[in-house]
Structure 1
Amino acid sequence: MLPITVEKDGPKGRYFIEAPGGVTAEMTFSQASDTLIIIDHTEVPDAFRGTGTGVRLVETLIADARASGTKIIPLCPFAAAQFKRHPEWSDVLETKVRMKPNSRRPDR
C-alpha cells in the first residue's frame, strides 16, 4: 500500500499519494482556524480508481482531526458523500455555522 503524505503551506495543504510514474491522488484543504479544516477538493486519477484511495485520504485527515480536536467541513462533493456514507465520522463533522465576531447579516 502506498503511503499518504501531508504537505502544508500556510493555511493551505493537501494529503496525497504518489504512485510510481508520478501519478498523484490528492485531497486539498484549507485550515480555516486552529480547530476547523475545510476539505476543498479530491482528485483521484484513473490509475487509482476502485482501490479505495479517495476514502483513505479522507480517513487519514479524519484521524489527524480527531488527534488534534479539529472539526471538518467537507465542501468537496466526494468528501461530503463519504461523510454521508460513514456516520461514524460525525464526531469530526462541523455542523454549526460560524460567523466572524461583529459580523451581521445584511438587512433584507
Structure 2
Amino acid sequence: MNAITPAQLNDWLQQNTGSSTPVVLDVREPWELQTASVTPDGFELVAMPMRSVPERFAELDRDQPIACLCHHGARSAQVLQFLEGQGFTRVVNIHGGIHAWSQERDPGVPVY
C-alpha cells in the first residue's frame, strides 16, 4: 500500500502534476469536516464519507492521482484498498490523517 505523511504531500503533488489536478479525498463524516478541514492548495478537495464510497466511486477519475484522508489514517487506508480493487492505480493514503496534518502541515487545523 502506498502511503505518504502530510509533510510529504508537497513532494507527492509535484510528482503528480500533469494533465489532471491531484485530489485529496476526505472520507470523514460531515460532522468531522465541520470540526476540522484542510484548505485546498495545489489539489482539489473532494469530500466523500467512507460509507458512501462504494456507491459514489464512479464520480472519481481513475487516471487522477488521489490521496485519501481521514482522522488518523485507518478509514482512508480501507478506502485506498477498495479503490485499488476497482482498478485505481494512482492512490495513496495520508498516514496519520488530519490529526497529523495539523501537526506536520497546518497547525491552524483543529485537533479532535
Same fold (TM over 0.5): no
TM-score by length of 1: 0.30
> Higher helix proportion, which one?
2
Larger radius of gyration: 1
Larger RCO of the pair (alpha carbons < 8 Å, separation 6+): 2
> Higher strand proportion, which one?
1
TM-score by length of 2: 0.30
